[in-house]
């Protein structure tokens, strides 16, 4: 999770995750949506698909990016926002 306050005006945090297969990407998305729905938090919108290898869940102040490994390497959001503070890093 990156703290992007001070770098962008449209969000406070980016959560960047990876899944090794289309099934894992979908499972990650469903788990995020399900857990936040229980907290009465719904995404403002979401984009992408498991077929594209990149899913984006927009929760306003928090943007969740879920990547297949190839797309994560291609877009390199970790490097693009390298100056942002890493709030949480789980390997």
pLDDT of residue 88: 86
- The separation between CA 69 and the C-alpha centre of its own chain, rounded to angstroms, equals 13
Token pair in block for residue 77: 């959001």
Task: Please determine, for residue 89, whether its predicted confidence score (pLDDT) is greater than 90.
Answer: no
Task: Please determine, for residue 16, whether its predicted confidence score (pLDDT) is greater than 90.
Answer: yes
**Mean pLDDT value across residues 51-56:** 95
Contact status, residue 58 vs residue 41, Cβ threshold 8 Å: no
Task: Please determine, for residue 61, whether its predicted confidence score (pLDDT) is greater than 80.
Answer: yes
| Interatomic CA distance for residues 18 and 54, integer angstroms | 9
Nearest to 16 by CA among 77, 60, 61: 77
- Residue 63: which pLDDT band, with cuts at 50, 70 and 90? very high
Angle at CA 50, nearest 5°, toward 48 and 55?
Answer: 40
CATH no. of 2-86: 3.30.460.10
In the predicted model, what is the mean pLDDT of the chain? 95
- Domains in the chain: boundaries: 2-86
Task: Please determine, for residue 46, whether its predicted confidence score (pLDDT) is greater than 80.
Answer: yes
């Amino acid at each position: 999770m990156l703290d992007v306050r001070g770098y962008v005006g449209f969000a406070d945090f980016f959560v960047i995750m990876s899944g090794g297969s289309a099934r894992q990407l979908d499972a990650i998305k469903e788990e995020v949506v399900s857990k936040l729905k229980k907290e009465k938090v719904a995404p403002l919108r979401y984009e992408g698909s498991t077929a594209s290898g990149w899913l984006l869940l927009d929760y306003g102040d928090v943007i969740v990016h879920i990547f297949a490994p190839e797309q994560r390497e291609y877009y390199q959001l970790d490097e693009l926002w390298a100056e942002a503070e890493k709030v949480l890093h789980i390997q």
